[in-house]
Structures are given as structure tokens and as C-alpha cells.
Amino acid sequence: MLKWKRVSVTAGDGAEELETILIGMAGKNRVIKYVATNNHDGDRRLRVYRDAEQFIDIDMNMLTVYAPFLPMDLPLTEGQFCNIGFYNITGSEVTTIISIGYTEA
């Protein structure tokens, strides 16, 4: 079954802001399958990390109203963190909602 989580992230101009959205747990096989955002502005870069390793760094305008989900296959083992957020170059402080779809067995 696909489960969803979302976070609201606020970043100042010229800053990257990240939030921990999911943590790997013992006995649970968690795999992130999709990432989406409510904003499709090219002045923000969507970023996804597993622990300190960066997996995604794309302009948010790559996701559109017609193709809002970025497919991925990012497993989390026990103790691994998925941090998600964005780099802001809009010229002012902005807030974006970012969602993930994940499976858990």
C-alpha cells in the first residue's frame, strides 16, 4: 500500500532548508516511490537526501500540473534519514509543501 507524508518547508532567499520526512525503522522495509511539490517555480530547486548523500537536485518547474510526481526508488534501512527540502533563489522568503509517497512492508 502506498502511504503519503508531507512537510511545509520555509527558506530565505539564497538558502537551502531541509526537513526530515522519513526514517528507516527496524523490521520495516520503507521505500520512497514518489516526490511531489505544490509549487512549480523555476526559482527553487527541489533537493532530497538519504543521510548526507544527495539523490535529487532539480528545478521545481520540472514537475508540472500535468506531471506532478517525480518517480524514484529510494530504500531506507534502519536508522537512515530522508531529508527533503529546497534551495530558494526567488529573492524573498517562501514556503513550499513537499510530499512523498512510500511503501512499507
39: which residues sit within 8 A by CB, 6+ positions away? 60, 94, 96, 97
What pLDDT digit, counting tens, does each position of 2-11 carry?
999 999 999 9
Domain ranges of the chain: 2-104
Place of cell 532548508: 17
d(CA 24, CA 2): 16
User: Which run of H or of E encompasses 55?
Assistant: strand 53-59
Give the residues across from 74 on adjacent strands.
32
What pLDDT digit, counting tens, does each position of 53-100 carry?
999 999 999 999 899 999 999 999 999 999 999 999 999 999 999 999
Report DSSP letters for 35-58, one per residue.
EEES---TTEEEEEEETTEEEEEE
What confidence score (pLDDT) does residue 41 get?
86
Type of residue at 88: N
Type of residue at 89: I
Say which CATH topology domain 2-104 has: Jelly Rolls (2.60.120)
Residue 26, pLDDT above cutoff 90:
yes
pTM above 0.85, yes or no: yes
